[in-house]
Amino acid sequence: MNALLFHDRHDAGTKLAEAVLAEMASAPAAEPIVYALPKGGLDVAEPVARLLHCPMDVVIAKKITQPRNPETAIGAVTPAGDVLWSVYQPTKVAEEILQQAFDEAQSQAQIQLAQFTAHFPSVSPKGKVAIVVDDGIATGMTMAVAVQTLREQQSAEIWICVPVAPASLLKELQKSADRVIILHAPEQFSSVSRFYNRFPQLTMEAAIECLQRHHDWLGSRGDGSQ
Q: What distances in angstroms separate CA 102 from CA 1, 39, 70, 145, 197, one per listed residue?
A: 34, 20, 13, 14, 33
Mean predicted confidence (pLDDT) in 16-25: 96
Query: Residue 225: what pLDDT?
Result: 47
pLDDT at 211 over 60: yes
Q: What is the pLDDT of residues 118-156, one digit of tens each?
A: 998 889 999 999 999 999 999 999 999 999 999 999 999
- Amino acid identity, position 108: Q
Nearest to 165 by CA among 178, 157, 174, 156: 174
DSSP classification of residue 6: B
Q: What is the pLDDT of residues 47-73, one digit of tens each?
A: 999 999 999 999 999 999 877 777 678
Q: Which domains does the chain have, with CATH numbers?
A: 9-59+126-220 (3.40.50.2020), 63-115 (no CATH)
Q: What is the pLDDT of residues 166-182, one digit of tens each?
A: 999 999 999 999 999 99
Percent of the chain with pLDDT over 70: 94
Read off the pLDDT band of 213 (50, 70, 90). very high
The rounded mean pLDDT for the chain is 91
pTM recorded for the entire structure: 0.92
Read off the pLDDT band of 89 (50, 70, 90). low
